[in-house]
Amino acid sequence: MEELSRQKVFITGINGFTGVHLEKYLLEKGYEVYGTTLSETENRNHFPCDILSEENLFKILNSVKPNFVVHLAAISFVAASNKQNIYNVNIFGTLNLLEAINKLDYVPSKVLIASSAAVYGNVEGELDETMCPQPVNHYGNSKLVMENMIKSYFEKQNIIITRPFNYTGIGQEPHFLVPKIVSHFKENKSDISLGNIDVYREFNDVDYVVECYTKLLLSNLKSEVINVCSGKAVNIKHIINIMEELAGYKIKVSVNPEFVRKNEIKILKGSGNKLVEAIGDFSNEYDIEATLKKFYAN
């Protein structure tokens, strides 16, 4: 492996859920890590920058001159109320980044751009990259449009587009499912209101995802779209059962019809064949019970 101490990684959205974990992992591996934030910061390697400003992005990139770029900044909550902002940030923010990179006097070793498994839509079973995307919400659609626009940069830059499936961990916002469940147990609440709990979804550990991202940055892969998944679907009832064991009490679960999606599918997971071929399979090093234990203990 290259001498990592000289390698610079630039992360947009570095203080977001995934960015925090990725920065920590990369620093431990010996990289120099820089990134953008929306708010002011005391970290000299973090730069306040709205990704809707191509000029500011270029200035920062040109001063840092990173070897690798990881684009995480996005509106990631499906139920976000400002629809126009979802499209502005997820599409035009990404295009601004790529245009800024184009203006550099060198080509970074790899640009990894996080899309989402939401581009597949409401499809049953194991989803692979050859399937025709059918997004069912503005978030998924914005990511699909983003992907299509990115492909025109494939010849100019070394780009990988990732489609991560559900993942969770410490620091995820409380309106997401797993943090909501864990917080109820940490607060010793007697009941919880959820949607359909008799479904199976991937709930991978954020640490697994950042390890995948790092390995993909160092891989030979480029001009590709790739799932970041484990292929392991977990029943939501199982998550509740694990939490009941950890907390030492049973919780009353009520199903709120407002949280139940129409025509909800029972099993949804990703095919990791392409991922395993590129970086190997280490998903067995992570499991939902260990993830929940970390979450609950934090």
- pLDDT for the residue 71: 98
Res 4 pLDDT > 80: no
- pLDDT for the residue 78: 62
| Residue 203 burial (CB count, 10 A) | 23
Distance CA 209, CA 167 (A): 8
**pLDDT, average across residues 127-141:** 95
- The mean-pLDDT minimum among 70-79, 113-122, 133-142, 166-175 falls in 70-79
Q: How far are the Cα atoms of 128, 162, 163, 204 from residue 274, in angstroms, in the given order? A: 9, 11, 12, 17
**H helix or E strand, kind and range, residue 146:** helix 138-150
Q: Is 139 a catalytic residue?
A: yes
3-state class of 282 per DSSP? coil
**pLDDT, average across residues 34-52:** 95
- pLDDT for the residue 6: 76
The overall average pLDDT reported for the chain is: 94
- pLDDT for the residue 81: 64
| Residue 177 burial (CB count, 10 A) | 18
The per-residue pLDDT for range 227-285, each reduced to its tens digit, is 999 999 999 999 999 999 999 999 999 998 887 777 778 999 999 999 999 999 999 99
- pLDDT for the residue 261: 74
Res 122 pLDDT > 50: yes
**pLDDT, average across residues 107-113:** 98
- pLDDT for the residue 248: 97
To which residue do tokens 């990173």 refer?
A: 66
Give the dihedral of Cα atoms 11, 14, 17, 23; nearest 10 deg.
Answer: 70
Please tell me which residue in 139, 153, 167, 213 is annotated as part of the active site.
139
Q: At what angle do helices 288-297 and 236-247 cross, to 10 degrees?
A: 50
The per-residue pLDDT for range 67-102, each reduced to its tens digit, is 999 999 998 766 556 789 999 999 999 999 999 999
Q: Which residue segments constitute the domains of the chain, with CATH numbers given?
A: 4-168+203-229+270-283 (3.40.50.720)
The per-residue pLDDT for range 275-289, each reduced to its tens digit, is 999 999 999 999 999
Q: Write b or e for each residue in 123-137: b if 16 or more Cβ atoms lie within 10 A of its Cβ, otherwise e.
A: eeebbebeeebebbb
- pLDDT for the residue 215: 98
Global pTM reads 0.94
